Amino acid sequence: MPIRTPPILTMTDAFSVRGLNVVVTGGNRGIGFGICAAYAQCGANVAVLCRDRAKGDAAAEKLRSYGTVCVAAACDVASDESVRAAAGEVFGAFPHVDVLVNNAGISTVSEFLRDRDLKGWHEVINTNLNGPARMLYAIVPRMIEAGRGGSVINISSIGGQALGGARTHPMPPYHVSKAALDMFTRNMAIELGDYGIRVNAIAPGPTHSDLDRDLPPDAFEKFEKLMPMHRFAEPIEIGALCVFLSSPAGNQITGTVLVHDGGLLLIA
């Protein structure tokens, strides 16, 4: 029989994620750390996954100040072996996982035909698309075994829906990886629904993160002038949306790609 997530009948604890065990890839900095902080501040336990174990440990130490269990594991989502090892560490620390946030991602700026031997293409696709697939493959079977339902959230981008600036700032593999991640999200929502596992994506627009350095010099002024909300988002705001999606209030939401872009797509 399918697992049916219960509806909320009252607003009491409707947005609570207290006590949930959450895994976030690329969680040591930028949007990833904002997501981790949002969960920890709301009472969830967090596993910070990133390539540099020392940086992950430092991030987890900061998160512990909010009073929850926060751990770190080294993980390169572009490597099958690394993902398997990290999953083993996660389940060594947590008896089960309730939420998986696939945040780790990279980009490259180059015209497609100038990408020597397709090096940039393969690196970006392997991280941004194959990485979430690897993580889901390693974590979700144990979520199914636990029988608790849960939530998978893929951090996509409005770059998967529009090509604003592509003529002057070409990023073909990035745009393709995010568009494909959106479709992967929808597929997994269908496949995992019977197990009570919801799968959604968040498509951030301009958000302060390490990817800021890849933007053209005039991007900040241009975006802030044109965007209806006239500012870049902060990482914790993406985290707030993650918290909502994995709370009881989000129990009926699956297979969606939620845009969080200050209205940029309206004028892109």
Q: What are the catalytic residues?
A: 174
Q: CA-CA distance, 27 to 37, in Å (whole number)?
A: 9
CA atoms lying within 13 Å on the CB side of residue 76: 10
Q: CA-CA distance, 12 to 195, in Å (whole number)?
A: 25
Name the residue with tokens 């933007």: 215
Q: CA-CA distance, 50 to 85, in Å (whole number)?
A: 12
86 phi and psi angles, rounded to 5 deg: -65, -40
Query: Can you say how many angstroms the Cα of residue 238 is from the centroid of all Cα atoms in its chain?
Result: 9
Contact 240, 260 (CB under 8 A): no
Contact 189, 254 (CB under 8 A): yes
Q: Which two tokens stand for residue 75?
A: 């993980």
Angle formed by the axes of helices 130-146 and 172-192, to 10°? Answer: 20
Q: Which two tokens stand for residue 94?
A: 């947590």
Contact 155, 103 (CB under 8 A): yes
